[in-house]
Amino acid sequence: MKRILLTLLVGLVAVSALFAQQRRRPDAPLPKWEGLALTPQMGWNSWNKFATEINEELIKATADKMVELGLVDAGYVYLNLDDGWHGERDAQGFIHEDPVKFPSGIKALADYMHERGLKLGIYSDAGTNTCACYAGSNGHEYQDAFTYASWGIDYLKYDWCYTQNLNPVGAYTTMRSALKRAGRPILFSICEWGSNRPWEWAQNVGHSWRTTGDIGVAFLPVPVTYDENGRPRWRPQSVLEILDQNEPLRAYAGPDHWNDPDMLEVGNGMTVSEDRAHFTLWCMMAAPLILGNDLTNMSDETLAIITNKDVIAIDQDPLGIQGLRIKKQGDLQYWFKPLSDGAWAFCVLNAGPEDAVVELDWETLEFNDELSGRSPQFKTVNYTVKDLWDASAKPFTTRAKGKKKGQTLPARTSVTVASHDVVTYRLTPAK
């Protein structure tokens, strides 16, 4: 009996010592800030258009445009500085902004955003340097997180250049903890290009993770070229390549942890059709919608694409399930995304060089989505179909029996999908 009591006592002491130690360990990893991206984050980032050529004037002018053009109302609330805002670290190791590019300081810039209903994002790197060779956060993670918090930063994109010998899980977890410790909710956007399969470990580390290399202004794959030593040169990823890489990862995405197929190139030089297709497919994939064009100088077509509320609603649907490609047939791709309230988003992409006439035989498009546990059941359920890009198109139904305001709606049987373009519908179960 004595022995049992003694064993119990020793066990109790050991367990409480362990708890006490855990409580005391200042370096115990802290959880991520929860709930900052229940739907994919939306905003603007300076990189795709301006690279490191950024400054206070440009950023403020961009913020003004985001308000004036209704982008903030459409959901684009983050304005994110990418690489090149940095100045030097001081003698204590604290990072400062470039005093020439940002003479009023980043804190003043954050105040400017907050006064206008925007949030300010910043960029750093887990390695010794950023990709454009400014100071990285390696060895300064807590210091940097505290600096960002003191400036009023709301979003951190954290890159993966100059990280030789770093363990990705450790490096990103360290910054996650630092952000939490710093006490200000900061959305954490992981950017290691999918190199270490972040979808398998980053669900509780960040709010999104890049799944691919950098996007370029290219719908079709950019041809590979070789340097003088016969090594393939770096080339950007095209919209079509990114689709193929990001689509199979849908099971890993969900509220507060999204696959990130990189920022948008809408308005940067592709055709209007290609921009429309690119934007729609990013929405079908529940991707973060981070604009990357010059908002102070954009065409009406670009503005119409990035502010299409119905298409944005596909991306932002609260169910938070990434869409799937159910069929590839030659140059045609058929995509569905389950939405809340039993609805579906549907999109046909024509990746080919010619316009295509597509037969809308819904029953042949029937499928079972194991991830959502849903299937459209076109045989028994009739859907009212709304065209999300053609506002003049009349709604129709999948089985010609739907009624709207007492009228029987027709079923459309075929549709033309232009080259490098999409046709996009919202299918709502008819009452």
> Burial of 364 by CB count in 10 Å (0-12 exposed, 13-18 middle, 19+ buried)?
exposed
- Binding footprint of ligand GLA, residue count (CB under 6 A): 10
Pairing of strands 155-159, 187-190: parallel
Residue 117 amino acid letter: G
* Cα 385 to Cα 50, 149, 195, 242, distances in angstroms: 40, 46, 40, 28
Query: Smallest Cα–Cα separation from 243: which of 262, 256, 257, 224?
Result: 262
Residue 242: how many other CB atoms lie within 10 Å: 25
Taking CB under 6 A as the criterion, the residue among 97, 159, 275, 315 binding ligand GLA is: 159
Q: Which of residues 19-78 bind ligand GLA (CB under 6 A)?
A: 47
Three-state DSSP at 413 gives coil
Q: Compute the least distance from the CB of residue 342 to ligand GLA, in Å.
A: 37
Query: What is the Cα gyration radius of the chain?
Result: 24
Residue 256 interacts with ligand GLA (CB under 6 A): yes or no = no
Query: Smallest Cα–Cα separation from 213: which of 227, 243, 192?
Result: 192
| Rounded (to 5) percent helix, strand, coil in the chain | 30, 25, 45
Q: Which residues are catalytic?
A: 159, 214
Which one of 128-136, 372-380, 384-392, 411-419 is the stretch in contact with ligand GLA (CB under 6 A)? 128-136
Taking CB under 6 A as the criterion, the residue among 118, 131, 179, 311 binding ligand GLA is: 131
Choose between 132 and 415: whose C-beta lies nearer to ligand GLA: 132
Q: Which of residues 163-202 bind ligand GLA (CB under 6 A)?
A: 191, 193
Q: Compute the least distance from the CB of residue 258 to ligand GLA, in Å.
A: 16
Which one of 5-13, 127-135, 324-332, 333-341 is the stretch in contact with ligand GLA (CB under 6 A)? 127-135
Residue 214 interacts with ligand GLA (CB under 6 A): yes or no = yes
Tokens describing residue 1: 């009996």
Query: Smallest Cα–Cα separation from 85: which of 52, 131, 44?
Result: 52
Residue 155 interacts with ligand GLA (CB under 6 A): yes or no = no
Q: Compute the least distance from the CB of residue 188 to ligand GLA, in Å.
A: 15
Residue 260 interacts with ligand GLA (CB under 6 A): yes or no = no
Q: Where are the beta strands (DSSP E) in 193-311?
A: 208-210, 258-260, 289-291
Task: Work out the angle between the directed axes of helices 106-115 and 56-68 (0-180°, nearest 10).
Answer: 10
Query: Smallest Cα–Cα separation from 48: which of 188, 215, 194?
Result: 215
Which one of 130-138, 146-154, 269-277, 327-335 is the stretch in contact with ligand GLA (CB under 6 A)? 130-138
Q: Compute the least distance from the CB of residue 86 to ligand GLA, in Å.
A: 11
Which one of 129-137, 223-231, 272-280, 359-367 is the stretch in contact with ligand GLA (CB under 6 A)? 129-137
Residue 82 interacts with ligand GLA (CB under 6 A): yes or no = yes
**To 5 degrees, how large is the angle CA 218–CA 220–CA 225?**
80
Residue 274 interacts with ligand GLA (CB under 6 A): yes or no = no
Choose between 106 and 131: whose C-beta lies nearer to ligand GLA: 131
Taking CB under 6 A as the criterion, the residue among 83, 154, 260, 265 binding ligand GLA is: 83
Q: List residues binding ligand GLA (CB under 6 A).
A: 47, 82-83, 130-132, 159, 191, 193, 214
